[in-house]
């Protein structure tokens, strides 16, 4: 079912539609959890090939085994339980983030040089993509000026009154984007307790299922693809090599 999207923030958000003659974005969905080092190696190779003109732009949807990643701004004091899950250093921006089953990670590899060489605009459009996706399930995601990610207001519990439902972290090399977004569909929220997620101590984390919505990963994937195409242009199914 289609739902009207909440208002966009016009000062930041614009579509990142492809330039003339560009091919549709390849849309990949991993059938099984992908080890983090394997995903990084694959993403790095794809980004290099896209920059060289040897591969199409790609969105790769996947899940990881339980792990923590450290962005370029990660602080050691934000690791609460250092031995709980493996910790991986990564070249994306941001601080510590959890990845695991039930969380939809989308690695987005786009050629900004051929679209719009504006990283701030790209990040705002990723936020808008998540906000529109959430609105498909009647969840109003919101930006915050003082912290990254997408947030939802909570009226069903005391405390901060809002929780984080999606994280963003990107890297851009030769104007090709890497890393991307992570949307909490139905992860084990207790796993976030081993870190201070994204360095934010005052607020919690939530998921679509935690909000009381019987949403599947397949439901979310359909909404992600529909809203991606509205902002970034057409996609085409990935065809695995024979």
Specify the residue for token string 């998540």.
Answer: 130
Q: Is 36 annotated as a binding residue?
A: no
Instruction: Answer yes or no: is 99 a known binding residue.
Output: yes
3-state secondary structure of 144: strand
For residues 166 and 182, give the distance between their C-alpha atoms in angstroms, rounded to a whole number.
5
- Site of tokens 């959430």: 134
Residue 141: C-alpha distances to residues 6, 24, 204 (Å)? 9, 28, 14
**Number of other residues whose CB lies within 10 A of the CB of residue 52:** 10
180 carries a ligand binding annotation: yes
Consult the annotation and say whether 98 binds a ligand: yes
Beta carbons within 10 angstroms of residue 77's beta carbon: 8
According to the annotation, is 169 in a ligand binding site? yes
Confirm whether residue 32 is marked as ligand binding: no
- Return the SS3 of 127: helix
- 3 annotated as ligand-binding: no
Catalytic hit among 46, 134, 198, 217: 198
Three-state DSSP string of 63-80: CCCCEEEECCCCCHHHEC
Q: Please check if 21 is assigned to a binding site.
A: no
Q: CA 204 to CA 192: how far, in whole Å?
A: 9
Active site residue 198: yes
Judge whether 95 is annotated as a binding position: yes
Report the DSSP beta bridge partners of residue 163.
152, 204
**What are the distances in angstroms from CA 68 to CA 65, 110, 193, 198?**
10, 25, 11, 11
Residues at the binding site for substrate are: 92-99, 167-169, 180-182
Residues at the binding site are: 92-99, 167-169, 180-182
Active-site positions read 198
């Amino acid at each position: 079912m289609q739902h009207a999207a909440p208002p966009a923030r016009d000062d930041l958000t614009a579509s990142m539609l492809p330039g003339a003659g560009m091919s549709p974005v390849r849309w990949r969905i991993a059938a099984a959890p992908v080890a983090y080092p394997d995903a990084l190696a694959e993403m790095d190779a794809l980004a290099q090939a896209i920059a060289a003109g040897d591969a199409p732009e790609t969105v790769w949807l996947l899940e990881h085994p339980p792990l923590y990643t450290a962005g370029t701004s990660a602080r050691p004091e934000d690791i609460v339980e250092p031995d709980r899950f493996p910790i991986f250093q990564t070249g994306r921006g941001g601080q510590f983030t959890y990845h695991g089953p039930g969380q939809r990670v989308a690695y987005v590899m786009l050629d900004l040089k051929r679209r719009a060489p504006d990283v701030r605009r790209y990040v705002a459009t990723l936020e808008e993509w998540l906000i529109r996706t959430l609105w498909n399930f009647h969840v109003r995601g919101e930006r915050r000026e003082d912290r990254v990610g997408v947030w939802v207001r909570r009226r069903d519990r005391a405390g901060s009154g809002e929780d984080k439902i999606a994280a963003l972290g990107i890297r851009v090399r030769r104007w090709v984007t890497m890393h991307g977004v992570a949307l909490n569909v139905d992860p084990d929220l207790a796993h976030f307790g081993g870190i201070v997620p994204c360095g934010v101590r005052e607020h919690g984390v939530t998921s679509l299922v935690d909000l009381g919505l019987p949403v599947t990963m397949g439901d979310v994937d359909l909404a992600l693809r529909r809203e991606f195409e509205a902002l970034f242009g057409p996609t085409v199914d990935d065809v695995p090599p024979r």
